[in-house]
């Protein structure tokens, strides 16, 4: 059986199995609730008439709504053509479990349970739905102690399909009505008869009819003598006994005419009242008499024939009676005298604890004291044959009595979740858990290469040990080699990468002393690496040699000025010029302070030769035109005033900044055009 039915119901564990269907505890993944999922037996799946009746009856059952009827949530068909019914799940067990574990119910409790069942049957019969398989196994107990009837519909479909064509008696032989056993048409009265059997079992803990074979049981329903339940349990009130006897009449006409009449009687006996007069009269007619009836006296003998005849007749009659009674008495004596004595009852001995043992080992150890009978085989994580429960569980029981056990029939285990694991680790984990492994391969990303991407069944599911688990392992992508794009422009690199099935990724800029401006310095991934088609390749584009800024040298010594220029990578050539500053004082460079030059450039470094010597001045005369122009020319040289030099430096720095901005803007525009 598949673990997920109709892509909705996830099977958890089997609840029961019969000739017509298997019942599982399942989880509804859509509505997130537990359900009882009844799946039609495979042997009926090919019977078109049965399937059609199953569909029709499942629809009728789904339409039933009553507090004492198990709700039908859904019905459908699986991929392999098997039909199912999703029902309300009740965890309280069945009425059969209750009777087996605790014996007969108190009479008032039994009558109250029968009343709830009768009300459920009335709701079904009012909609023309006949159950046809009323039995304590189909009566579920709720958490509050009420009961609900289950299995409406499927029993009718099964019997309708097979009874007339094969003669098989479907349903449980202990609970079928006489007309059902004979293959005759059945109606509501048949369900009431089955309810009578259930009531009889609740009252006495025994079946009204029993035999060695199902056919023998069925025939006793037809012509066997009913022992009233009060004979087996004297504590049963007369009213409840009468209701039970009327329900078990072999002729449907002698049973209750309808459900309402039965419900009325049950309500009366539950309340401590007597049932209707018709019920009491019928029960009285079938009960055994308390005393043996005496034979009617003989009519008076004729007086004709004279006195002699009157004397002779009694003597002859007495002699004949003696001749008859003596052999009978002798035969009775021999019969009673030769009867073997009944063996004394078996001793009461302690019930051993069998849970956890292997059933064969339990039989070897305790088989001489008890008969160990396997009543159910279920799925479990323990080894096959391990006993999971027993009845009775403890206490004492008679030597030779039966201990019923439930054992593991199919060993299951939880499937490890191996998605994301490496191939070898995943296969090892699954085999260690007891499963066989099949491996499929599928193209994947580099991250999933040689790792498990999928598994079936999924991790956490419980399946039979030794089953096959399929894992899908990634093989990695179809890769392409990365071409070399170093030394070309970004535009050229984009074209080269496109031809290789890749794309140009992030473009960043950096200075380089070796790579010309605009050319690619480096790339990531590097040349020759294998990558997925369509992957991006990031590049770094050269800004050329990073220029250095000419520092301020005015006012310091020539030696200090040369050291300052050298510290930023600029060489210098000192040139002496006239100036007002002390001799050896640096004045300026060419270009001046703030200008950007290439590292290693050699700049002229102007320094002062010292102020001119002071001499006596002649009488002032009007200066000639040439003499008026000379001071201005002298001040305009490298040794000019400090104010002019500072102004020149500021202008140089501003020009350098503007130049850098222009270059960056040009480079951005060029990339956008590419």
Q: Which of 22, 74, 133, 259 is catalytic?
A: 133
The per-residue pLDDT for 51 is 77
**Confidence bin at 153 (pLDDT 50/70/90):** low
Question: Do 474 and 451 touch, CB atoms closer than 8 A?
Answer: yes
- Mean pLDDT, range 560-576, rounded to an integer: 93
Does the residue 169 lie in any domain? yes
The per-residue pLDDT for 279 is 73
Rg (the chain; Cα; Å)? 55
CB atoms within 10 A of CB 225: 8
The two structure tokens encoding residue 52: 């059609």
User: pLDDT tens digits, residue range 231-284?
Assistant: 999 999 999 999 999 999 999 999 999 999 999 999 999 998 989 876 777 666
The per-residue pLDDT for 158 is 40
Residues 102 and 154 in one domain: yes
The two structure tokens encoding residue 531: 């990558």
Please determine, for residue 625, whether its predicted confidence score (pLDDT) is greater than 90: no
Please determine, for residue 52, whether its predicted confidence score (pLDDT) is greater than 70: yes
Domain count, the chain: 5
Please determine, for residue 67, whether its predicted confidence score (pLDDT) is greater than 70: yes
The per-residue pLDDT for 325 is 46
d(CA 355, CA 372): 12
Please determine, for residue 189, whether its predicted confidence score (pLDDT) is greater than 60: yes
**Confidence bin at 477 (pLDDT 50/70/90):** confident
The per-residue pLDDT for 305 is 38
Does the residue 52 lie in any domain? yes
List the one residue out of 31, 46, 37 whose CA is nearest residue 4. Answer: 37
- Mean pLDDT, range 126-136, rounded to an integer: 89
Does the residue 573 lie in any domain? yes
Choice among 208-212, 262-266, 661-665 with the minimum mean pLDDT: 661-665
CB atoms within 10 A of CB 66: 18
Choice among 180-189, 622-631, 652-661 with the minimum mean pLDDT: 622-631
- For residue 27, what are the CA distances in angstroms to 32, 87, 119, 373, 457? 7, 11, 30, 32, 16
User: pLDDT tens digits, residue range 574-619?
Assistant: 999 988 899 999 999 999 999 999 888 999 999 999 888 766 555 5
Question: Do 205 and 104 touch, CB atoms closer than 8 A?
Answer: yes
CB atoms within 10 A of CB 418: 22
Residue-range definition of the domain harbouring residue 207:
45-69+90-286
Please tell me which residue, 515 or 62, carries the higher pLDDT value: 515
Residues 201 and 276 in one domain: yes
Residues 440 and 566 in one domain: no
Residues 485 and 513 in one domain: yes
- Mean pLDDT, range 376-393, rounded to an integer: 89
The two structure tokens encoding residue 598: 């290439």
**Confidence bin at 418 (pLDDT 50/70/90):** very high
Residues 419 and 407 in one domain: no
The two structure tokens encoding residue 177: 């009505």
Residues 430 and 575 in one domain: no
Residues 262 and 130 in one domain: yes
- Mean pLDDT, range 136-161, rounded to an integer: 73
d(CA 127, CA 147): 20
Exposed/middle/buried for residue 604 (C-beta within 10 Å: 0-12, 13-18, 19+):
middle
Please tell me which residue, 13 or 625, carries the higher pLDDT value: 13
The residue out of 521, 542, 563 marking a domain boundary is 542
d(CA 405, CA 372): 7
- Mean pLDDT, range 312-338, rounded to an integer: 44
Residues 526 and 563 in one domain: no
Please tell me which residue, 547 or 151, carries the higher pLDDT value: 547
Mean of all residue pLDDT scores within the chain: 81
- Mean pLDDT, range 211-218, rounded to an integer: 89
The two structure tokens encoding residue 527: 């040349």
**Confidence bin at 308 (pLDDT 50/70/90):** very low
Q: Which residue has the tokens 């140089």?
A: 652
d(CA 279, CA 263): 13
Report the C-alpha dihedral over residues 157, 161, 163, 169, rounded to 10 degrees.
-50
Phi and psi torsions of 142, nearest 5°:
-85, 175
The per-residue pLDDT for 647 is 60
Please determine, for residue 56, whether its predicted confidence score (pLDDT) is greater than 80: no
**Confidence bin at 445 (pLDDT 50/70/90):** confident
The two structure tokens encoding residue 55: 């569909």
Choice among 69-73, 141-145, 522-526 with the minimum mean pLDDT: 141-145
Please tell me which residue, 155 or 260, carries the higher pLDDT value: 260
The per-residue pLDDT for 49 is 74
The two structure tokens encoding residue 100: 């087996």
Sign of the C-alpha dihedral computed for residues 176, 182, 184 and 189 taken in this order: negative
**Confidence bin at 634 (pLDDT 50/70/90):** very low
List the one residue out of 545, 544, 541 whose CA is nearest residue 509. Answer: 541
Please determine, for residue 306, whether its predicted confidence score (pLDDT) is greater than 50: no
Residues 494 and 578 in one domain: no
Please determine, for residue 61, whether its predicted confidence score (pLDDT) is greater than 50: yes
Does the residue 30 lie in any domain? no
Q: Hey, is 81 helix, strand or coil?
A: coil
Residues 180 and 202 in one domain: yes
Sign of the C-alpha dihedral computed for residues 578, 583, 589 and 594 taken in this order: negative
Residues 113 and 183 in one domain: yes
d(CA 513, CA 525): 23
Does the residue 292 lie in any domain? no
Q: Hey, is 146 helix, strand or coil?
A: coil
The per-residue pLDDT for 420 is 93
The per-residue pLDDT for 393 is 84
The residue out of 378, 412, 446 marking a domain boundary is 412
The residue out of 270, 286, 302 marking a domain boundary is 286
Please tell me which residue, 126 or 322, carries the higher pLDDT value: 126
Please determine, for residue 371, whether its predicted confidence score (pLDDT) is greater than 50: yes
Q: What is the CATH number of the domain that holds 272?
A: 1.10.510.10
Ramachandran sector of residue 305 (left: φ over 0; alpha: ψ -120 to 50; beta: rest) = left
Highest averaged pLDDT of the listed ranges 74-83, 289-298, 361-370: 361-370
- DSSP E strand stretches across 104-225: 139-141, 147-149
Residues 588 and 525 in one domain: no
The per-residue pLDDT for 18 is 66
The per-residue pLDDT for 674 is 58
133 in active site: yes
**Confidence bin at 623 (pLDDT 50/70/90):** low
Q: What is the CATH number of the domain that holds 422?
A: 3.30.10.20
The per-residue pLDDT for 160 is 44
């Amino acid at each position: 059986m598949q673990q997920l039915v109709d892509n909705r119901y996830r099977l958890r564990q089997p609840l029961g199995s019969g000739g017509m269907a298997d019942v599982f505890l399942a989880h509804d993944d859509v509505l997130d609730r537990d359900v009882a999922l009844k799946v039609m037996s495979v042997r009926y799946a090919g019977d078109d008439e049965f399937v059609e009746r199953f569909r029709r009856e499942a629809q009728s059952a789904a339409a039933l709504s009553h507090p004492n009827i198990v709700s039908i949530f859904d019905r459908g068909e699986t991929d392999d053509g098997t039909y199912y019914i999703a029902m309300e799940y009740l965890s309280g067990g069945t009425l059969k479990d209750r009777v087996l574990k605790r014996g007969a119910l108190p009479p008032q409790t039994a009558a109250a349970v029968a009343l709830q069942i009768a009300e459920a049957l009335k709701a079904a019969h009012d909609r023309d739905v006949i159950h046809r398989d009323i039995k304590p196994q189909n009566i579920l107990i709720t958490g509050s102690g009420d009961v609900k009837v289950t299995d409406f519909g499927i029993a009718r479909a099964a019997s309708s399909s097979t009874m007339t064509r094969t003669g098989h008696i479907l349903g449980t032989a202990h609970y079928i009505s006489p007309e059902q056993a004979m293959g005759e048409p059945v109606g509501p009265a048949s369900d009431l008869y089955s309810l009578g059997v259930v009531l009889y079992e609740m009252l006495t803990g025994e079946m009204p009819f029993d035999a060695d074979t199902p056919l023998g049981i069925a025939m006793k329903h037809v012509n066997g003598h009913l022992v009233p339940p009060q004979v087996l349990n004297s504590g049963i009130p007369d009213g409840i006994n009468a209701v039970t006897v009327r329900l078990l009449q072999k002729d449907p006409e002698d049973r209750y005419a309808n459900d309402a009449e039965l419900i009325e009687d049950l309500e009366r006996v539950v309340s401590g009242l007597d049932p209707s007069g018709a019920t009491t009269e019928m029960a009285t007619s079938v009960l055994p008499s308390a005393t043996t009836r005496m034979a009617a006296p003989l009519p008076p003998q004729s007086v004709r024939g004279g006195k002699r005849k009157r004397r002779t007749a009694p003597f002859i009659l007495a002699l004949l009676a003696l001749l008859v009674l003596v052999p009978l008495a002798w035969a009775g004596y021999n019969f009673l005298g030769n009867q073997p004595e009944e063996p004394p009852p078996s001793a009461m001995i302690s019930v051993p604890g069998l849970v956890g043992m292997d059933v064969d080992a339990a039989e070897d150890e305790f088989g001489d004291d008890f008969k160990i009978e396997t009543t159910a085989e279920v799925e479990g994580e323990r080894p096959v044959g391990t006993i999971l429960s027993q009845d009775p569980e403890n206490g004492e029981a008679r030597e030779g009595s039966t201990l019923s056990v439930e054992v593991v029939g199919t060993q299951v285990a939880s499937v490890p979740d191996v998605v994301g694991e490496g191939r070898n680790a995943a296969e090892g984990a699954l085999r260690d858990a007891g499963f066989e492994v099949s491996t499929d391969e599928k193209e994947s990303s580099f991250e999933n290469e040689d790792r498990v991407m999928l598994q079936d069944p999924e991790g956490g599911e419980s399946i039979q040990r030794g089953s096959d688990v399929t894992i899908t392992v990634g093989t990695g992508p179809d890769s392409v080699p990365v071409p070399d794009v170093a030394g070309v422009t970004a535009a050229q690199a984009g074209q080269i990468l496109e031809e290789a099935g890749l794309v140009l990724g992030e473009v960043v800029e950096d200075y380089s002393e070796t790579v010309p401006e605009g050319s690619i310095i480096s790339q990531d991934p590097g040349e020759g690496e294998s990558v997925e088609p369509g992957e991006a390749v990031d590049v770094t584009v050269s800004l050329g040699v990073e220029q250095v800024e000419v520092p301020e040298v005015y006012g310091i010594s020539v030696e200090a000025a040369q050291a300052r220029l050298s510290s930023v990578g600029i060489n210098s050539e000192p040139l002496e010029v006239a100036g007002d500053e002390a001799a050896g004082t640096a004045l300026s460079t060419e270009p001046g302070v703030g200008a950007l030059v290439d590292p290693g450039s050699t700049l002229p470094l102007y320094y002062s030769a010292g102020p001119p010597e002071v001499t006596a001045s002649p009488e002032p005369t009007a200066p000639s035109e040439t003499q008026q122009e000379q001071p201005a020319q002298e001040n305009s040289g490298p040794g000019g005033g400090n104010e002019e030099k500072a102004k020149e430096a500021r202008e140089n720095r501003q020009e350098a900044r503007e130049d850098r901005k222009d270059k960056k803007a040009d480079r951005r525009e060029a990339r956008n055009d590419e």
